[in-house]
C-alpha cells in the first residue's frame, strides 16, 4: 500500500458518514449499492466493510430508517433512507465540510502561491 | 451447485467475521451483524468468485467493520481473563471448519422446521385437550377427531410457513421472543412425543373397574375397523360372538370410530359386554348401521360334503 492510498483511506474515515448520507439523500439504497455508488462517485478506495459498518452505526444512531425489500432472485435487501435526523446531520456535516475544505484549500493555495508564513 | 458453493462461502466468511468480532458485547454484535449474511450474499451474487478475493481476509474485514461501527477494539484490556478464555474457546469452535459447514447447512433445514413445528403445535394441543385420547404419530383419518387434527395440522403448516417466510425481520425483542417460542414448542412437544410410544396399542379393559374401557383400533385393508361380522362356514351371519385376543383379554374396538354409536349389551353383572360381535351400532342420526355385503370364499372342492355335513346332518337324517 503506497503512501497516497493510505492518505485517502485516512481521509475517508473522517468523511465516510457524510459521503454515505449524501448518497442516501439521493435515493434510498442497500449496502452493496451504496458501496457501488460511492465508487462510481470517485471514492474508489471505499471499503465494503467500512460502508456496511457505517450504515449500521448511522441506523443505530437513529439517522436512518430501514426496510426490507424482498427480491425474487437473490437475498432480500435491507434498504436504508434518511429520516429527519439524518437530513439534519447531512446538512450540518455538509456545512462543516464546506468550511473545512474552504479553509484547507485556502491554506493549500497560500502554500503553492508562496505566501506561506 | 455453484450457488451452493457460494452459500457455503458466504456462511464460512460470515462465521469468520463473527468469530473475529466475538469479543463484542452480544447485543452490539447482534445489531452490527444481523444482516451480514444477506449483505455478503449480495456481493457474492454480483461479484462472483470467492469473497476473500473480493473483500480480503475475513479478519481484516471484521477489523474494518469494527472501526467503521466505532466499536471497542479487541484489546482484551477491559476483559476478565476467564471470560476471555471462554470467548476464545467459543471462537475456536465457531471458527472451525465443521462448525461452519454445519452452520452453512442449517438454514436449509428451516422450512423443514416450519412444517415440523406446526405439526408439533397441533399435537401438543391435541394432547392437552384430552388426556385419554390415544395419540398416534399420524392421526386416524377415519375418526372425526383424527380428521380434525389432520385439517388443523394442514392449516397450521400453511400459517407456520407464511410466518417463516415473512419479509419483514422482527425487531430485536420480537426476535428473541420468536426464538423463545420456537424452543418452547420443541421442549413441550418432547414429552408428548415420548409418551406417544408408551400407549400400548393393546388397550386394556381394566381388570377390576370395567367402566373405563380404553379400546383398541384394528386396521383392515381399507382403514380402521369399526365392527366385526362373523359368518359361519356356510355363510350364515352369526351374532353375539365373543372375541378374545391371544392373552385372553376381550377384543374391544374403539367406540369412537367413524361417528358411530355402539349399544353394548349389558351383562348380568351390569357391565357392558364390549367384545360381542357384531356390535350393535347406530349412526349419529340414529339409523342402525346395516350389515355389509360380503363375498364368501369358495371352499376347496375336495370336501364339499364333508364340511357342511356336521351342521347339516341333523336335518337330513330324519328324512332318511
Enter the ipTM. 0.78
What is the Rg, in whole angstroms, of the alpha carbon atoms belonging to chain B?
Answer: 33
- The structure's pTM equals 0.43
Q: Do A76 and B64 touch (CB under 8 A)?
A: no
- How many CB atoms neighbour CB B206 within 10 A? 11
Lowest mean pLDDT among A58-62, A104-108, B2-6, B170-174: B2-6
> Is B53 inside any structural domain?
yes
> Is B183 inside any structural domain?
yes
**Nearest to residue B107, comparing CAs of B157, B38, B50?**
B38
Return the percentage of chain B with pLDDT > 70, whole number.
78
Cα separation, A58 vs A61, whole angstroms: 5
Helix or strand run (H / E) with residue B260: strand B260-263
Q: Do B167 and A16 touch (CB under 8 A)?
A: no
Lowest mean pLDDT among B57-71, B192-206, B218-232: B192-206
**Nearest to residue B283, comparing CAs of B303, B262, B260, B300?**
B260
* Last residue of one domain, picked from the residues B154, B178, B196: B196
> Is B123 inside any structural domain?
yes
CA dist B165 → B160, B162, B169 (Å)? 9, 5, 10
Q: Residues of B with CB below 8 A from A57's CB?
A: 68-70
> Is B132 inside any structural domain?
yes
* Axis-axis angle for helices A48-60, B58-69 (nearest 10): 30
Using a CB–CB cutoff of 8 Å, tell me whether A31 touches chain B: yes
Domain count, chain B: 3
> Is A86 inside any structural domain?
yes
Cα separation, B192 vs B309, whole angstroms: 56
Q: Do B68 and A31 touch (CB under 8 A)?
A: no
> Is A93 inside any structural domain?
yes
B7-43 burial by CB neighbour count: b if 16+ within 10 A, else e? bebbbbbbbbbbbbbbbbeeeebebbbebbbbbbbbb
Residue B307 DSSP one-character state: T
Q: Of A16, A75, A77, which is closest to B68 when you measure between CB atoms?
A: A16
| Average pLDDT estimate for A16-37 | 91
pLDDT tier, B202 (very low <50, low <70, confident <90, very high otherwise): very low
> Is A117 inside any structural domain?
no
Q: Is the bond preceding B278 in cis, omega lying within 30 degrees of 0? A: yes
Q: Of B68, B69, B167, which is closest to A76 when you measure between CB atoms?
A: B167
Q: Do B42 and A32 touch (CB under 8 A)?
A: yes
Look at the block and give the residue holding cell 500500500.
Answer: A1
pLDDT tier, B172 (very low <50, low <70, confident <90, very high otherwise): confident
Note whether B230 and B166 are same-domain residues: no
Q: Do A68 and B43 touch (CB under 8 A)?
A: no
Cα separation, B255 vs A47, whole angstroms: 72
What is the structure's pLDDT at B126?
Answer: 83
Do the beta carbons of residue B16 and residue B58 sit within 8 Å? yes
Cα separation, B100 vs A36, whole angstroms: 29
Domain count, chain A: 1
CA dist B23 → B18, B33, B176, B228, B298 (Å)? 9, 13, 21, 70, 82
> Is B317 inside any structural domain?
no
Q: Of B32, B38, B55, which is closest to A76 when you measure between CB atoms?
A: B38
Q: Is the pLDDT of residue B96 over 50?
A: yes
What is the structure's pLDDT at A116?
Answer: 43
What is the structure's pLDDT at B257?
Answer: 58
Question: Which is more confident, A19 or B270?
Answer: A19
> Is B79 inside any structural domain?
yes
Note whether B125 and B177 are same-domain residues: yes
- Give the residue ranges of DSSP H helices in chain B: 2-20, 26-33, 36-47, 51-55, 58-69, 81-95, 97-105, 110-129, 144-164, 172-196, 309-312, 316-319
Contact residues for B89 (Cβ-Cβ < 8 A; gap 6+): none
Note whether B117 and B35 are same-domain residues: no
At A93, which CATH number? 1.10.10.10
Interface test with B, best of A12, A35, A49 (most B CBs within 10 A): A49
Cα separation, B279 vs B243, whole angstroms: 11
Give residue B54's Cα distance to chain centre: 45
Note whether B74 and B159 are same-domain residues: no
Note whether B181 and B244 are same-domain residues: no
Domain with B79 in it: 2-95
| Average pLDDT estimate for A54-67 | 90
Note whether B227 and B156 are same-domain residues: no
Interface test with A, best of B65, B167, B169, B175 (most A CBs within 10 A): B65
Q: Residues of A with CB below 8 A from B172's CB?
A: none
* Last residue of one domain, picked from the residues B166, B196, B226: B196
Q: Residues of A with CB below 8 A from B168's CB?
A: 67-68
Q: Of A47, A49, A75, which is closest to B38 when you measure between CB atoms?
A: A75
Domain with A32 in it: 3-112
Interface test with B, best of A21, A75, A78 (most B CBs within 10 A): A75
Residues 55-114 of A with CB under 8 A from B: 56-57, 60, 67-70, 74-78
> Is B105 inside any structural domain?
no
Task: Quote the Cα angle for B98-B102-B106, to 5°.
Answer: 170
| Sheet order of strands, A77-82 included | A29-30, A77-82, A64-69
Interface test with A, best of B2, B10, B28, B42 (most A CBs within 10 A): B42
> Is B316 inside any structural domain?
no
pLDDT in tens, B266-289: 777 777 788 888 888 877 777 788
Amino acid at each position: 500500500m503506497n503512501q497516497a492510498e493510505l492518505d485517502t483511506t485516512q481521509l475517508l474515515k473522517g468523511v465516510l458518514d457524510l459521503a454515505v448520507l449524501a448518497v442516501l439523500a439521493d435515493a434510498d439504497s442497500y449496502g452493496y449499492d451504496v458501496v457501488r455508488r460511492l465508487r462510481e462517485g470517485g471514492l474508489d478506495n471505499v471499503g465494503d466493510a467500512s460502508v456496511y459498518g457505517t450504515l449500521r452505526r448511522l441506523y443505530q444512531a437513529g439517522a436512518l430508517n430501514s426496510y426490507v425489500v424482498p427480491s425474487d432472485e437473490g437475498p432480500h435487501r435491507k434498504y436504508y433512507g434518511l429520516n429527519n435526523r439524518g437530513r439534519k446531520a447531512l446538512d450540518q456535516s455538509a456545512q462543516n465540510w464546506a468550511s473545512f475544505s474552504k479553509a484547507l484549500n485556502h491554506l493549500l493555495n497560500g502554500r503553492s502561491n508562496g505566501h506561506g508564513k | 451447485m455453484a450457488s451452493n458453493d457460494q452459500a457455503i462461502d458466504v456462511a464460512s466468511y460470515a462465521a469468520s467475521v463473527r468469530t473475529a468480532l466475538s469479543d463484542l458485547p452480544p447485543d452490539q454484535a447482534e445489531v452490527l451483524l444481523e444482516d451480514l449474511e444477506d449483505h455478503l450474499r449480495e456481493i457474492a451474487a454480483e461479484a462472483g468468485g470467492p469473497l476473500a478475493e473480493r473483500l480480503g481476509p475475513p479478519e481484516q474485514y471484521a477489523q474494518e467493520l469494527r472501526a467503521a461501527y466505532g466499536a471497542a477494539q479487541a484489546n482484551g484490556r477491559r476483559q476478565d481473563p476467564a471470560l476471555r478464555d471462554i470467548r476464545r474457546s467459543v471462537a475456536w469452535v465457531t471458527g472451525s471448519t465443521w462448525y461452519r459447514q454445519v452452520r452453512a447447512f442449517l438454514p436449509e433445514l428451516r422450512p423443514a422446521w416450519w412444517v415440523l413445528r406446526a405439526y408439533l403445535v397441533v399435537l401438543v394441543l391435541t394432547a392437552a385437550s384430552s388426556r385419554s385420547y390415544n395419540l398416534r404419530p399420524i392421526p386416524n383419518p377415519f375418526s372425526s377427531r383424527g380428521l380434525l387434527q389432520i385439517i388443523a395440522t394442514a392449516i397450521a403448516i400453511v400459517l407456520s410457513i407464511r410466518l417463516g417466510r415473512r419479509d419483514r425481520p422482527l425487531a430485536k425483542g420480537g426476535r428473541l421472543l420468536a426464538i423463545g417460542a420456537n424452543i418452547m414448542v420443541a421442549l413441550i412437544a418432547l414429552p408428548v412425543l415420548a409418551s406417544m410410544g408408551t400407549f400400548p396399542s393393546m388397550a386394556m379393559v381394566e381388570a377390576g373397574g370395567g367402566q373405563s374401557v380404553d379400546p383398541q383400533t384394528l386396521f383392515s385393508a381399507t382403514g380402521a375397523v369399526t365392527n366385526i361380522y362373523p359368518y359361519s362356514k356356510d355363510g350364515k351371519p352369526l351374532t353375539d360372538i365373543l372375541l378374545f385376543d391371544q392373552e385372553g383379554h376381550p377384543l374391544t374396538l374403539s367406540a369412537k370410530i367413524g361417528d358411530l354409536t355402539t349399544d353394548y349389551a349389558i351383562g348380568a353383572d351390569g357391565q357392558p359386554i364390549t367384545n360381542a360381535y357384531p356390535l350393535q351400532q347406530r349412526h349419529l342420526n340414529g339409523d342402525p348401521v346395516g350389515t355389509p355385503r360380503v363375498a364368501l370364499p369358495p371352499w376347496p372342492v375336495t370336501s364339499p360334503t364333508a364340511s357342511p355335513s356336521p351342521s347339516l346332518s341333523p336335518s337330513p337324517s330324519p328324512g332318511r
